[in-house]
């Protein structure tokens, strides 16, 4: 039974990773299960310098999901390399480093600092607010997306995954734009912008007012977008958005994803990602699937 | 790999005051590790509610392998917990967080409202001489159980229990003294304690609350501002779930 998949020449022993920001760098979850069992660990977004993030409350629960406005708090690339990458290097899993920035120069600086580390893949988060480019998030304007993809590709040593925002009208266009600009892979979806109001207190539930919705509630939207993106490009797609079970993951793969990430579900069960790995193997046995590749885009 | 989410059996569940429940669960692995000030992550039976609810340990009996929690119905999750009865099970993980630093100094334990329960476990474990200050809105609960562990001073907003006013009013009026303060309760109370401790040059340990998603230090939802740059985050904030919930009052900004 072959569960390996390949993302831009990097082989993952199984198609399961975790969604950036929901798993730290794996240290905390490694106390619940050996994170080496995952195909890859995707780390929390890291910038060139430490970011303090947003005021609290940063999260709220919603029916079948949650919303967050963490604000990309991170310790900066120096600490990340010394501490987080050092931890992951001892693990037998692939390392996907999620990168964030406020300007193209920020992203390029991080990508260059990662060149001589053992990061296997770089995931570029282009849905951060507060970017220089006229205030438009890189991920929602095709021209800005093409520009940052080209710049990052020009400086990156590892293959580059562009992580797309779902807050767009035409996801296929964004996926194609990233591919044409040189992206080695695409990942989606990031959170969907939402808002929650605490009616008893008559104020916003989250200090930032708007926040990103994630979890099982957004899964059907994510499956649709993964399907549209996968059909628009020939590079591999990593699917995420509400994946909580093996069945959810397989749905993503059948829609066209080569690999899947488990995000918010880690909060409901710290071993959710491991259960997805095991559940996929079980499915392959039950359905006598020799190679997981048979399932990718099979619908 | 030492942590797990367990399916714990409920040994008892009692309503001890309006909307306040005392739940005892069988959790030997947690009971033998538990320290005062730590909390558990409780998962609801509703799969539409993904996030664990943090609830403090009110008592742990390592020999019996049991953990007691006292909680107030604050919303749907805690309402679901309150409907469980002996023999039912609940998914829990823990113990989480760091707990109080137990010092051999005369202590003032301060519990305000639903911050009272964790002080009971602390009162039992702390050997130093202690005065226990409990603040209520208008209904008393749990206070009898503190009797064996020290002198008790009470305060209530309504004035029907002990001193009328806040726990700080009661401390001043009763002339309570000590070398270290341990506190848990609403943020305005903790802020007043922080100011008082600074004025008096007292050491104070306070337990903080914030919305949590992972409960284990991975998601950075539950942060609190710090005076100095934090060792883990490299910015002026710290994770309440993993680096707290108990902090030296002199180190955090409320
Ligand atoms: C470290 C810590 C220890 C705690 N110990 C106790 C205790 O011993 N007894 C007790 O009664 N309560 C305690 N609380 C508060 C308790 O966690 C909340 O009352 C509970 O989560 C409310 O859940 P709900 O589903 O009933 O409310 P809802 O409002 O429906 O919950 C919605 C979401 O908000 C979160 N939330 C709501 N109120 C709070 C709050 N005050 N703090 C943190 N998250 C909140 C919930 O966890 C959930 O994710 C503690 C909180 C923290 C952070
Ligand atoms: C608390 C939290 C923090 C997140 N942080 C990041 C981040 O730093 N970088 C990023 O690209 N995506 C981040 N995300 C988005 C997730 O990686 C993922 O794309 C999204 O949550 C959808 O997947 P899910 O429904 O499985 O959670 C975060 C999501 C959550 C819930
Ligand atoms: S709740 Fe995730 S870091 Fe504290």
Q: Is the peptide bond before B95 cis (omega within 30 degrees of 0)?
A: yes
Give the end of a domain, one of B48, B65, B96: B96
Asked whether the beta carbons of residue B51 and residue A23 sit closer than 8 angstroms, the reply is no
* pLDDT over 80 at B60, yes or no: yes
Same domain, B56 and B85: yes
Identify which ligand lies nearest to the alpha carbon of A44: 2
Across the interface, of A73, A216, A267, the residue whose CB is closest to B213 is A267
Indicate whether B130 and B54 sit together in one domain: no
**Mean pLDDT of the A189-198 span:** 95
* Residue B215 is assigned to a structural domain of this protein: no
- Locate the chain A residue with the closest alpha carbon to B43: A268
pLDDT tens-place string over residues A136-152: 578 899 999 999 999 99
* CATH code of the domain containing B15: 2.40.30.10
Q: How far is the CA of B203 from the centre of ligand 1 (A)?
A: 27
Asked if the structure places residue B66 within a domain, the reply is: yes
* B214 close to A (CB below 8 A): yes
Total number of residues shown for chain B? 254
- CB of B239 closer than 6 A to ligand 3? yes
Per residue in A1-22, pLDDT (tens digit) is 999 999 999 999 999 999 999 9
Q: Determine whether the interchain pair B219/A24 forms a contact, defined as Cβ–Cβ distance below 8 Å.
A: yes
Residue A56 φ/ψ region, left for φ over 0, alpha for ψ in the -120 to 50 degree band, beta for the rest? beta
The answer to whether residue B252 sits within a structural domain is no
Task: Give the residue, out of B20, B74, B187, with the most ligand 1 atoms within 8 A of its beta carbon, to mutate for a pocket test.
Answer: B74
pLDDT given for residue A114 in this prediction: 98
Listed residues B96, B122, B154: the one ending a domain: B96
Q: Report the C-alpha gap between B222 and B77 in whole angstroms.
A: 19
Is pTM beyond 0.90 here?
yes
The CATH number that applies at residue B196 is 3.40.50.80
Same domain, B195 and B162: yes
Query: Cβ contacts of residue B49 below 8 Å, gap of 6+?
Result: A61, B76, B77, B80
pLDDT tens-digit profile of A15-64? 999 999 999 999 999 999 999 999 999 999 999 999 999 999 999 999 99
What is the total count of domains within chain B?
Answer: 2
Q: If you write DSSP's letter for every residue of B46-109 in order, what string do you get?
A: -TT--SPEEEE-SEEETTTTEEEEEEE--SHHHHHHHT--TT-EEEEEEEES------SS-EEE
- Reading the block at residue A272, the tokens are 């959710």
Spatial contact of B169 and B189, defined as CB atoms under 8 Å apart: no
Alpha-helical segments (H) within A181-271: 219-232, 246-254, 265-268
Selection from A34, A45, A61, A169 nearest residue A96 by Cα: A45
Interface of A with B in 68-97 (CB under 8 A): 68, 70, 73, 75-76, 79
**pLDDT for res A129:** 55
Domain assignment present for residue B234? The answer is no
Hey, is the C-beta of B218 within 8 angstroms of any chain A C-beta?
Answer: yes
Q: What percent of chain A has pLDDT over 70?
A: 97
Does the residue B154 lie in any domain? yes
Nearest to B218 among A29, A75, A265 (CB): A29
Task: Record the tokens describing residue B119, joined without a space.
Answer: 């002080």
Same domain, B84 and B140: no
Q: Round to whole Å and give the CA distance between B248 and B67.
A: 26
pLDDT tens for each residue of B125-183: 999 999 999 999 999 999 999 999 999 999 999 999 999 999 999 999 999 999 999 99
pLDDT of amino acid B134: 98
Averaged confidence pLDDT in chain A:
95
Ligand 1 pocket, residue B114 CB under 6 Å: yes
Mean pLDDT of A191-214: 95
Residue A56: list chain B partners with CB under 8 A: 210-211, 221-224
Question: b/e per residue, B139-163, with b = 16+ CB within 10 A?
Answer: ebbbbebbeebbebbbbbeeeebbb
Q: Is the distance from CB of B54 to CB of B81 less than 8 angstroms?
A: no
- What six digits make up the tokens of A223? 């499956």
Q: Are B232 and A75 inside 8 Å of each other by CB?
A: yes
Domain with B177, as residue range(s), is 107-209
What would the pLDDT profile of B3-42 be if each residue is shown by its tens digit? 899 999 999 999 999 999 999 999 999 999 999 999 999 9
Q: Are residues B113 and B180 in the same domain?
A: yes
Q: Is B215 in the pocket of ligand 3 (CB under 6 A)?
A: yes
Cβ separation B220–A73 shorter than 8 A: yes
Q: How far is the centre of ligand 2, averaged over its atoms, from the C-alpha of B79 (Å)?
A: 29
CB of B242 less than 8 A from some CB of A: yes
Distance from C-alpha of B174 to C-alpha of B182, rounded to nearest angstrom: 18
What residue of A is the nearest CA neighbor of B216? A28
Contacts of B236 in chain A (CB under 8 A): 52
CA distances from B159 to A145, A271, B136 (A): 63, 49, 9
What pLDDT is recorded for position B2?
78
| Domains along the sequence of chain A with CATH | 5-54+72-195+214-294 (3.20.20.70)
> How far is it, in rounded angstroms, from Cα B195 to Cα B221?
26
Ligand 1 in contact with B74 (CB < 6 A)? Answer: yes
Report the percent of chain A where pLDDT is more than 90.
Answer: 95
Per annotation, catalytic residue among A128, A178, A230, A265 = A128
Mutate to test the pocket of ligand 1, among B22, B44, B75 (most ligand atoms within 8 A of CB): B75
Residues of B in contact with A58 (CB under 8 A): 211, 220-223
Q: Distance between CA B119 and CA B135 in Å, rounded?
A: 12
- Same domain membership, residue B115 and residue B91: no
Question: Is B39 close to ligand 1, i.e. is its CB under 6 Å away?
Answer: yes
* Residue B116 scores a pLDDT above 50: yes
Closest to A16 (Cα-Cα) out of A184, A245, A291, A222: A245
Mean pLDDT of A257-273: 98
User: For the segment B73-86, what is each residue's pLDDT rounded down to a tens digit?
Assistant: 999 999 999 999 99
Q: Is B237 a domain residue?
A: no
Same domain, B85 and B168: no
Alpha carbon of residue A191 to chain centroid: 10
What token pair was written down for B88?
Answer: 């039912």
How much is the mean pLDDT over chain B? 97
Catalytic annotation present for A128: yes
Decide which of B35, B70, B96 is a domain's last residue: B96
Inter-chain CB proximity B219 and A22 less than 8 Å: yes
| pLDDT for residue A134 | 46
pLDDT in tens, A93-133: 999 999 999 899 999 999 999 999 999 999 999 976 545 55
């Amino acid at each position: 039974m072959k569960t390996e998949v390949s993302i831009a020449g990097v082989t993952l022993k199984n198609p399961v990773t975790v969604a950036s920001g929901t798993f730290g760098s794996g240290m905390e979850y490694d106390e619940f299960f050996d994170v080496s069992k995952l195909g890859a660990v995707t780390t929390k977004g890291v910038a060139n310098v430490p970011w303090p993030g947003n005021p609290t409350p940063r999260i709220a629960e919603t029916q079948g999901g949650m919303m967050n406005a963490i604000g990309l708090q991170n310790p900066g690339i120096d600490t990340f390399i010394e501490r987080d990458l050092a931890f992951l290097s001892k693990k037998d899993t692939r390392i996907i480093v999620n990168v964030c920035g406020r300007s193209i120069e920020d992203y390029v600086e991080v990508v260059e600092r990662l060149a001589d580390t053992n990061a296997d893949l770089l995931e570029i988060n282009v849905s951060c607010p507060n970017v220089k480019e006229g205030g438009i998030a890189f991920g929602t304007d095709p021209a800005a997306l093409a520009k940052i993809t080209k710049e990052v590709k020009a400086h990156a040593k590892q293959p580059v995954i562009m992580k797309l925002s779902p807050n767009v009208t035409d996801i296929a266009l964004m996926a194609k734009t990233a591919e044409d600009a040189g992206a080695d892979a695409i990942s989606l979806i990031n959170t969907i912008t939402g808002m929650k109001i605490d009616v008893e207190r008559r104020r916003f539930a989250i200090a930032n007012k708007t926040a990103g919705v994630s979890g099982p509630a957004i899964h059907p939207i994510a499956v649709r977008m993964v399907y549209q993106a996968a059909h628009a490009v020939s590079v591999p797609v990593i699917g995420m958005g509400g994946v909580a079970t093996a069945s959810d993951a397989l749905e993503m793969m059948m829609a066209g994803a080569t690999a899947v990430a488990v995000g918010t579900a880690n909060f409901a069960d710290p071993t959710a990602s491991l259960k997805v790995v095991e559940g996929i193997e079980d499915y392959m046995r039950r359905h006598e699937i020799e190679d997981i590749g048979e399932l990718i885009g099979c619908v | 790999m030492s942590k797990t989410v367990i399916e714990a059996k409920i040994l008892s569940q009692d309503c001890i005051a309006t909307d306040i429940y005392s739940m005892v669960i069988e959790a030997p692995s947690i009971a033998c590790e538990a320290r005062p000030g730590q909390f558990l992550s409780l998962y609801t039976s509703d799969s539409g509610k993904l996030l664990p609810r943090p609830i403090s340990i009110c008592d742990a009996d390592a020999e019996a392998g049991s953990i007691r929690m006292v909680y107030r119905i604050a919303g749907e999750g805690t309402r679901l917990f309150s409907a469980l009865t002996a023999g039912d099970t609940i998914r829990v993980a823990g113990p989480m967080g760091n707990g109080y630093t137990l010092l051999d100094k005369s202590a003032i334990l301060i519990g305000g409202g639903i911050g009272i329960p964790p002080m009971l476990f602390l009162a039992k474990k702390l050997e130093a001489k202690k005065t226990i200050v409990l603040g209520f809105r208008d209904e008393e609960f749990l206070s009898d159980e503190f009797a064996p562990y020290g002198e008790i001073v009470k305060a209530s907003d309504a004035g029907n229990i002990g001193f009328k006013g806040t726990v700080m009013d009661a401390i001043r009026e009763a002339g309570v003294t000590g070398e270290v303060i341990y506190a848990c309760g609403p943020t305005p109370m903790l802020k007043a304690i922080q100011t008082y401790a600074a004025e008096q040059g007292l050491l104070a340990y306070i337990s903080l609350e914030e919305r949590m998603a992972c409960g284990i230090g991975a998601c950075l939802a539950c942060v609190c501002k710090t005076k100095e740059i934090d060792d883990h985050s490299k910015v002026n904030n710290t994770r309440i779930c993993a680096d707290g919930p108990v902090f030296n009052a002199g180190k955090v900004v409320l």
